[in-house]
Every structure is written in structure tokens, then in C-alpha cells.
């Protein structure tokens, strides 16, 4: 077994132990954040380096621009059992590629309708504009989303994945 | 199911290698690397790997052109359906159109835990009843509008269907929790999810006590009629709305006002070649006073498909087929192209959107569903 696999198996074991130790009684939502490379991802980085505490429920996926996010990314996240998805990117004036956020807005509106027709709560999907320096806002958004999702409970698709 | 079983079931071993399928196939006409005959050859000679890894496997439109011409009665569309199931079991999929959003929605829909809000478009204008013998199957229309980039008009078909049924004095049932019929998943090989959807639909339709189901989408109709019996048990009379209207036009009080228009009619492959409904839509169009129906060069069982099926492998060749068909429609001098399938409409509109710059006004044309045409021609006394 090479070093990589060994460290990975140790990690997995540790993860399992912490899970067992914690005995998850409270529902912990799983949130996927699609973060634009230039603004929101940097904001998350700043939140980390300036040691701002925020819940651990997020998995951040870095994309080059919020305009490249396809509806399938978000639907796939729900399909795989995400409880909430945040689509986050630059402000309209900051975009590295001129009109990424506008494209994202068009996509988001259609996607929102799909999610609504499908019967998911509208709060499970969120669109945020977080600029590079706004680490505190990033942390606040995550906290807010986690609280909201804890009230809503797990996504119906999550049950399917578990059983 | 192994490849051998598929060959036995679809009678592929009867293939005479005459190549009629490849010469009639709309895809082969534009895409030289796709040939139905070659696909069958591969299967018969035992090149299973070649067949499954073929990137053209998901190109077939299942338009039934080959099946109608085959002198040996080889069921090539069914063969494709089964081989695709075999391929997808090995993790091979075609290239889904719209990056697979629609297939993903169908998979999400198959989850029993969700409660859809699919009837929000229903306003008080339309009268529906809680319990009735007639059920109107809405299908995927509420989703199309929110997935595609342009106005699809799919929801208008559902609305106008209800309007016409109401005008006939019928208040059909509409189910709030019906799910996708599964047509696209079945034809892209996802049989597992298809079965789930079919079981759900069959169960809720049985619970509703409907005796007759009316479809506005030929794909749903086809799936219920030919595919569901293999998976679920459903004892209902099935009818496409054009069949139903052609039957009941005389009995009811459908009063048409005069509409001066020259139209041409596109036979959707599912409604025409699959189900053999050619006459009823034409009868319906001709019943509207003032409407003149001019036929295209290829009609009825020779009609050209709209170029894509099951939201998969929509490529430049599909666009070429569409453009070809639209030019044919233009050549008749008609102002409007009438179809009877929401997907034909979507595909033609899409061809106009993306071809618009290159071909300019060459392919631009009004496309409308037959249901919209009938509803727009309904007189005042008809809508009461």
C-alpha cells in the first residue's frame, strides 16, 4: 500500500470514528456551494484565513465563472442527496468575463421554476453575490442557510440515497 | 437480457442485408457513419463490444421508417431500445441534449417522496373534475417551459386541450401527482427508472378510477400503449386528443369561427408511423372553415422526422434534418406548420433559433400544435 492510500484510509477511519463518537442525533444539512473562482471562492478563502467561524456543512465546488454553471450541476447535486445548493458568484460589476452573473441569473430563474415544479422548497436553492473581500458575508450566508435547512429538514432525495 | 435474446426477440436474424433501412433512415441520409444495417450486422456477427461502444448507438430516432420498409420485418427500433438498455447497464450513454437536464428531472421525479407542484398553471378558466371517466394526461409540459431557452408553447397545448374538452362539455380529471411517462428514459436505456415511473403512473391511474386517458403528446400515448403492457398492468382506453376530437366533433357543440389561413401538417413519427393516426388530424384541420391544408412532399408514412428523439444525440445532422423539413414546409407556400407533438414543435422552433442567423428567413415559419389551432378557431358559443 503506498503512502497516499494509507493516509486516505487513516482519514476515512478517523472520519468514521468522529461520526460514531458524535452519534449524529441532530440533522446536519449537506450544502453544495458553486463558487466563482474570482470572487466567492476568494471570499471563502478570506473567511478561512481570517479565522471566521462558519458551519462545516458546506462542500465548495470551484467554477471559473458563475455564468458557466449549468442547471444539470445543481440538479445532479440534488439527485445525489444535497439538502441545499448555493449558486454564488461576483457582483454584476466585478465579473472577470463581463456578463457571467447575468447569464447565471437567467439560468437560475429557469432552474428555480424547475425545482419549484418538482416540489422542492424554494429555500433549498439560493443565489448569492459575494465579492472577493466579503469573507464575513460568506460566513453569514452559510450560517443562515444551515439554520434555514435545519428548519426544513432533509431533502426528499437524500432519503433515497441513504436507503 | 443478453444480445442473443435481443436478436431473438426482435427477429434480427431475418435480416436480408438489403439495406433498405439504411437508405430510408433520415440520420443515414446526413450522417454517413451511421447505418442501421451495419448495426444489425455487428449484432449478428457477435461484435457486441463494437455495437455497445459505437458512438452512433444513441443516434437512432426510432422514427419507424426502417420498420415499415423492412421486407423481413426486423424490429430495428425495438432492437435499438434493448441494445441501449444493455449499453447503459455498462455505463455507456449517448450525448444528452441540454446537458441531460431533462433526464435528470425525470430521475428526480421517479422518487416516491416528492410532491410535485405541476398544476400551478391551472386557472379557474379551465373546468376539471375530481372524479370522472375521462383523464387528461398532461405529461412533461410544465417542465419544458422552465428548462428550455425559448418559448416552447408546450404548456399552451395542455391549456388549449382542456379548453377544447370543456367546450365539448367534458370536465376531465387531471392528476396532480402524475409523473413523466418515461418514454425518454426507456429509449435512452434507463429501464430501472422507467419501471418506477410506469408503476407509479399505473397505480395512481388505477386509484383514480379513470376509464379513458386522453393524451396531447403522442410520445406518452405510444409509451402507454406499447411499452407499459410489458411492465405494468393498466386497463384503460387510450386516445390521442386528435382521435378523440375527430370522433366527437359532430356530437358536441364545437362551433368554429372562420379563420383564413394556409397551413401544412407534419405527421409526428410517434403519432403517424407508430400508432397509425394519419386521418384524424387532417379531418380536424379541414373541419375548421377557411383553413386550407396543403400537403408537403413527404407525408403520412413517408413523413420526415423532426430530427431528435428522447433528448439525446442532438447534433448538426439533427439540425440538417429539421432544416430540410422546414424548407419542405416553406415550399408548400403555407403560412403555418401544424404538428401534433410538443417535441416536434420544440425542435422546429429550436432549428429556427439557431439556424436563424445562417439561413435567415429561409426556415422561419410559424409552428403551432393542432390543439392550439383548434382552440384558437373555437367560436364564442363553443367556449361556453
What lies within 8 Å, CB to CB, of B3 at 6+ separation is B43, B46, B48, B51, B83, B86
Q: Which of B107, B108, B178 best tests the A interface by mutation, with the highest count of A CBs <10 A?
A: B108
ipTM comes to 0.85
- Over residues B370-383, mean pLDDT: 75
What lies within 8 Å, CB to CB, of A53 at 6+ separation is A139
Task: Check pLDDT > 60 for residue B177.
Answer: yes
What lies within 8 Å, CB to CB, of B86 at 6+ separation is B1, B2, B3, B6, B52, B189
pLDDT, averaged across chain A: 84
What number of helices (H) and strands (E) belong to chain A? 6, 4
Burial of B297 (0-12, 13-18, 19+ CB in 10 A): exposed
Instruction: Select from A114, A122, A123, A68 the least CA-distant residue to A90.
Output: A68
Write the DSSP symbol of residue B239: E
User: Which domains are assigned to chain B?
Assistant: 3-89 (1.10.1060.10), 97-248 (3.40.50.1860), 261-377 (3.40.50)
Give the pLDDT band (50/70/90) at residue B143. confident
Instruction: Select from A157, A141, A116 the least CA-distant residue to A57.
Output: A141
Give all strands of the β-sheet with B291-293 in edge-to-edge order: B291-293, B261-265, B336-339, B366-369
Task: Check pLDDT > 80 for residue B309.
Answer: yes
Our CA dihedral for B319, B320, B326, B328, rounded to 10 degrees, sits at: -160
Alpha carbon distance B13, B10 (integer Å): 8
Alpha carbon distance B105, A74 (integer Å): 11
B48, B1 contact by CB (below 8 A)? no
- Over residues B10-36, mean pLDDT: 89
pTM of the model as a whole: 0.85
What lies within 8 Å, CB to CB, of B358 at 6+ separation is none
Q: What is the pLDDT of residues B211-231, one digit of tens each?
A: 899 999 899 999 999 999 999
Give the pLDDT band (50/70/90) at residue B287. confident
Instruction: Select from B269, B277, B278, B349 the least CA-distant residue to B310.
Output: B269
B100 has a chain A CB within 8 A of its CB: yes
Q: What is the pLDDT of residue B254?
A: 75
B116 has a chain A CB within 8 A of its CB: yes
- Over residues B253-263, mean pLDDT: 81
Q: What is the pLDDT of residue A23?
A: 57
User: Cβ of B104 and A79 within 8 Å?
Assistant: yes
**Using a CB-CB distance cutoff of 8 angstroms, which residues of chain B are in contact with residue A161?**
none
Distance (Å) from the alpha carbon of A153 to chain B's nearest alpha carbon: 13
Higher pLDDT: A141 or B126? It is A141
User: Cβ of A78 and B111 within 8 Å?
Assistant: no
User: Cβ of B117 and A117 within 8 Å?
Assistant: yes
Write the DSSP symbol of residue B312: B
Q: What is the pLDDT of residue A8?
A: 55
Distance (Å) from the alpha carbon of B148 to chain A's nearest alpha carbon: 8
Alpha carbon distance B129, B208 (integer Å): 11
Which three cell numbers mark B69?
420498409
Residue with cell 437560475: A108
User: Cβ of B120 and A117 within 8 Å?
Assistant: yes
Task: Check pLDDT > 80 for residue B307.
Answer: yes
User: Cβ of A71 and B114 within 8 Å?
Assistant: no
B338, B210 contact by CB (below 8 A)? no
**Using a CB-CB distance cutoff of 8 angstroms, which residues of chain A are in contact with residue B98?**
71-72
Opening angle at CA B44, ends B40 and B47, nearest 5: 90
A80 has a chain B CB within 8 A of its CB: no
Task: Check pLDDT > 60 for residue B357.
Answer: no
Alpha carbon distance B70, B40 (integer Å): 13
Q: What is the pLDDT of residues B38-95, one digit of tens each?
A: 889 888 888 888 888 888 888 898 889 899 889 988 899 999 999 999 898 888 888 8
Q: What is the pLDDT of residue B382?
A: 45
Ordered alpha helix ranges (H), chain B: 3-9, 20-24, 26-30, 36-44, 48-53, 65-69, 76-89, 101-109, 141-147, 154-167, 183-187, 191-208, 218-222, 228-231, 241-248, 279-287, 316-331, 342-359, 370-377
B10, B49 contact by CB (below 8 A)? no
Q: Which of B97, B104, B155, B197 best tests the A interface by mutation, with the highest count of A CBs <10 A?
A: B104
- Which contiguous run of DSSP H or E holds residue A10? helix A3-22
Distance (Å) from the alpha carbon of B342 to chain A's nearest alpha carbon: 18
Alpha carbon distance B333, B346 (integer Å): 22
pLDDT, averaged across chain B: 86
What lies within 8 Å, CB to CB, of B326 at 6+ separation is B337, B348, B351, B352, B363, B365
Q: What is the pLDDT of residue A47?
A: 93
Q: Which of B95, B113, B120, B196 best tests the A interface by mutation, with the highest count of A CBs <10 A?
A: B113
Share of chain B above pLDDT 70, in %: 96
Alpha carbon distance A145, B298 (integer Å): 57
B251, B327 contact by CB (below 8 A)? no
Q: What is the pLDDT of residue A160?
A: 45
Task: Check pLDDT > 80 for residue B170.
Answer: yes
Which three cell numbers mark A121?
422548497
Instruction: Select from B77, B128, B117 the least CA-distant residue to A119.
Output: B117
Any idea which fold A30-162 has? Rossmann fold (3.40.50)
- Which contiguous run of DSSP H or E holds residue B297? none
pLDDT along chain A (163 residues), means of 10: 51 58 72 93 93 92 93 91 92 91 92 89 92 93 93 80 41
Per domain, the residue ranges of chain A are 30-162
Alpha carbon distance A161, A146 (integer Å): 20
Q: What is the pLDDT of residues B270-286, one digit of tens each?
A: 888 899 889 888 888 88
Instruction: Select from B35, B46, B55, B34 the least CA-distant residue to B7.
Output: B46
Amino acid at each position: 500500500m503506498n503512502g497516499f492510500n494509507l493516509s486516505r484510509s487513516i482519514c476515512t477511519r478517523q472520519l468514521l470514528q468522529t461520526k460514531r463518537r458524535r452519534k449524529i442525533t441532530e440533522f446536519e444539512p449537506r450544502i453544495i456551494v458553486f463558487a466563482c473562482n474570482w470572487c466567492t471562492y476568494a471570499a471563502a478563502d478570506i473567511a478561512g484565513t481570517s479565522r471566521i467561524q462558519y458551519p462545516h456543512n458546506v462542500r465548495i465546488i470551484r467554477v471559473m465563472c458563475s455564468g458557466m454553471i449549468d442547471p444539470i450541476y445543481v440538479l445532479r447535486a440534488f439527485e445525489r442527496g444535497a439538502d441545499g445548493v448555493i449558486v454564488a458568484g461576483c457582483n454584476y460589476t466585478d465579473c472577470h468575463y463581463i456578463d457571467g452573473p447575468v447569464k447565471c441569473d437567467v439560468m437560475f430563474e429557469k432552474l428555480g421554476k424547475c425545482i419549484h415544479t418538482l416540489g422542492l422548497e424554494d429555500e433549498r436553492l439560493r443565489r448569492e453575490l459575494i465579492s472577493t473581500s466579503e469573507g464575513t458575508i460568506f460566513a453569514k450566508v452559510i450560517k443562515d442557510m444551515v439554520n434555514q435547512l435545519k428548519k426544513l429538514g432533509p431533502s426528499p432525495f437524500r432519503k433515497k440515497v441513504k436507503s | 437480457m443478453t444480445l442473443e435474446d435481443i436478436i431473438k426477440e426482435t427477429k434480427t436474424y431475418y435480416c436480408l442485408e438489403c439495406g433498405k433501412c439504411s437508405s430510408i433512415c433520415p440520420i443515414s441520409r446526413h450522417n454517413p457513419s451511421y447505418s442501421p444495417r451495419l448495426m444489425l450486422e455487428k449484432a449478428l456477427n457477435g461484435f457486441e463490444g463494437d455495437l455497445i461502444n459505437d458512438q452512433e448507438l444513441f443516434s437512432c430516432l426510432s422514427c419507424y421508417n426502417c420498420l415499415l420498409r423492412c421486407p423481413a420485418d426486423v424490429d430495428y427500433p425495438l432492437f435499438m431500445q434493448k441494445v441501449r438498455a444493455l449499453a447503459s447497464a455498462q455505463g455507456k450513454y449517448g450525448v444528452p441534449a441540454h446537458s441531460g437536464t431533462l433526464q435528470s428531472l425525470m430521475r428526480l421525479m421517479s422518487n416516491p417522496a416528492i410532491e410535485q407542484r405541476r398544476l400551478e398553471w391551472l386557472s379557474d378558466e379551465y373546468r376539471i373534475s375530481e372524479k370522472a371517466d375521462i383523464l387528461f394526461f398532461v405529461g412533461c409540459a410544465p417542465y419544458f417551459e422552465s428548462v428550455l431557452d425559448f418559448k416552447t408553447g408546450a404548456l399552451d397545448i395542455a391549456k388549449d386541450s382542456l379548453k377544447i374538452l370543456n367546450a365539448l362539455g367534458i370536465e376531465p380529471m387531471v392528476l396532480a401527482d402524475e409523473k413523466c411517462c418515461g418514454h425518454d428514459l426507456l429509449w435512452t436505456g434507463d429501464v430501472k427508472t422507467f419501471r418506477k415511473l410506469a408503476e407509479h403512473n399505473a397505480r395512481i391511474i388505477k386509484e383514480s378510477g379513470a376509464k379513458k386517458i386522453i393524451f396531447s403528446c403522442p410520445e406518452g400515448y405510444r409509451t402507454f400503449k406499447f411499452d407499459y403492457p410489458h411492465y405494468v398492468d393498466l386497463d384503460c382506453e387510450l386516445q390521442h386528443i386528435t382521435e378523440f376530437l375527430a370522433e366527437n366533433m359532430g356530437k358536441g357543440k364545437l362551433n368554429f369561427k372562420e379563420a383564413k389561413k394556409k397551413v401544412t401538417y407534419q405527421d409526428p413519427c410517434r403519432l403517424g408511423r407508430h400508432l397509425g393516426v394519419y386521418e384524424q388530424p387532417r379531418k380536424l384541420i379541414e373541419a375548421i372553415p377557411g383553413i386550407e391544408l396543403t400537403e408537403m412532399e413527404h407525408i403520412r408514412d413517408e413523413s420526415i422526422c423532426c430530427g431528435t428523439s428522447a433528448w439525446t444525440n442532438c447534433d448538426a445532422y439533427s439540425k440538417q434534418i429539421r432544416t430540410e423539413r422546414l424548407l419542405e414546409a416553406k415550399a408548400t407556400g403555407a403560412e403555418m406548420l401544424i404538428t401534433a407533438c410538443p417535441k416536434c414543435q420544440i425542435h422546429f422552433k429550436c432549428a429556427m433559433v439557431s439556424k436563424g442567423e445562417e439561413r435567415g428567413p429561409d426556415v422561419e415559419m410559424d409552428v403551432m400544435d393542432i390543439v392550439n389551432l383548434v382552440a384558437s378557431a373555437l367560436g364564442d358559443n363553443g367556449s361556453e
